[in-house]
Structure formats: structure tokens, C-alpha cells
Amino acid sequence: MSTRLVSVVVDAQDPDSLAAFWAAALQWPVTYSDPDEVVVEIEDQAGHWGDAGTVPLVFVPVHEPKAVKNRVHLDLVSSSAEEQATTVERLLDLGARHIDIGQGDVPWTVLADPEGNELCVLEPRVDYAGAERIAAVVLDSTDPVADASFWQAASGWRIDHRGAGYARLRHPDRAATVLELVSAPGGKQAKDRIHVDLAPYPGDDLDSEVARLSGLGAQRTDIGQGDTSWEVLSDPGGHEFCVLTPR
């Protein structure tokens, strides 16, 4: 039995507009849209959506505006200093803005999307060679090394680096987007506006997978989801995530 990471979900007051920004930012198409969700994803060379080594972005409607710094954000890849500068200018033209979150003098650029979600445009790094636009999904953590063990069991990705205040997980057979846990001060102040979705494989059982993840330190969480076909849990660090039906 196992689960795997299948999507990154972004709360949005205007899902259509925010999805349009990210579709243009990543140069990926919108592949699905209805009142409950808008999906932006890349197509691989075989014509399969969501199989190109990265995870789809799913934008879902919420009423409340962003109020505090996100504890989950996206890092975008650059292959050269010129590409980094071009990407920053393109995002600014699309509606992003520069923000200061206390990053100081760093080689990457910190921006916010039109609804205030933080993102980083990274300088060239060999570690992200092969990533398609999104270099990393980054989770703030008070104990990255311990949380990485949970996420290895939850996502199906492998830990390929961990050290003081940092851990990184990669897809087991693709050189693509990574999952990173970084040490960050301060505790949880509000529901995460960005979270990941997991799903069991066909033939596995949702309830059994929820029980397995609970045994690893996850907790069932009520965020007002009501009666749904999926389960909402929180990881040991307090990040909400959803376990979908097998697929």
C-alpha cells in the first residue's frame, strides 16, 4: 500500500484569473475548468497530462483573502542569469510584484503572484536540471529532517539530501520538480493556502492509507470540508494535505 503526490492545490479568490496568471507564468495550458477547480499542467512527449515529471496546479475557490505569509510556496527554475532576469520581468508584466519577506541579500528573486502568494525565481542551480518550470514545492518546517521521513512515506518520493535545517525529496525515476522542507521560524497561524494532494494507487484502499499515514504522525483535520470523498489530514508539522480516492 502507498500514496503518491498527484497535485499542488492553491486557494484563490478568483481561480480563473489566478490560473491564467500561472498558466502564462509557466507557459503551461489550462487543461480543465469548472466552478470548483481550474487545472494548469504540462503535457509530456507521449501526450499524457501530469506525467511530465512535475505535478499539476489546481486552483480552487475560497472567500477569504490571504492574510499571512504562506508556509508553502513554489520555486521557479532558471538555466542562466539571463533567463532568471527575463522570467522576473515577464512575471512582473503579468501582475506579480516584488516583496520583502526578510530574505536579505540573496541570489534568487522573491515575488508575489496577483493574490499575494510568495514565489521565488531561482538563480541557475545544477540540482534542478531537468525541471519543467517549477524547481521545487517548498514547505516551511520546524524539523525538516524528521518531516522528510514522513513525506517520503506519504509521497512516494525519495530523500536525496538532508542536513541541518533542510531536506529534499525527488521523484523516484524522474529528474524534475522536488519537494523541499526548510527550517523556518514561527508556528502555524492560518490554514495553508497552498497544499498538496496525495492519492492511493488503483486497487488500494483510501481508509487503509489514511490509517497508515495517521500511524506515521498525520492527524485528521477539519477545515470545514464537510462530507467529501477525500480525507483532509495534517502532517506532523501542521501542513494540511488531502488524500484522494484511488486513481
**pTM higher than 0.85 for the full model?**
yes
Helix (H, G, I), strand (E, B) or coil at 192: coil
Give me the pLDDT at residue 214, please.
98
| pLDDT per position as a tens digit, 101-110 | 999 999 999 9
109/98 Cα distance (integer angstroms) = 8
Kindly report, residue by residue over 125-180, the tens digit of the pLDDT.
998 887 889 999 999 999 999 999 999 999 989 999 999 899 999 987 766 789 99
Would the CA dihedral through 128, 131, 133, 136 be positive or negative?
negative
| pLDDT score for 228 | 94
Q: Where are the domains of the chain?
A: 3-243
The residues facing 169 across adjacent strands are 159, 179
Model confidence at 47: pLDDT above 60 = no
Q: In whole angstroms, how far apart are CA 203 and each of 111, 143, 161?
A: 42, 33, 32
Q: Which fold has domain 3-243?
A: 2,3-Dihydroxybiphenyl 1,2-Dioxygenase; domain 1 (3.10.180)
pLDDT at 40 over 50: yes
Burial class (CB in 10 A: 0-12, 13-18, 19+), 109: buried
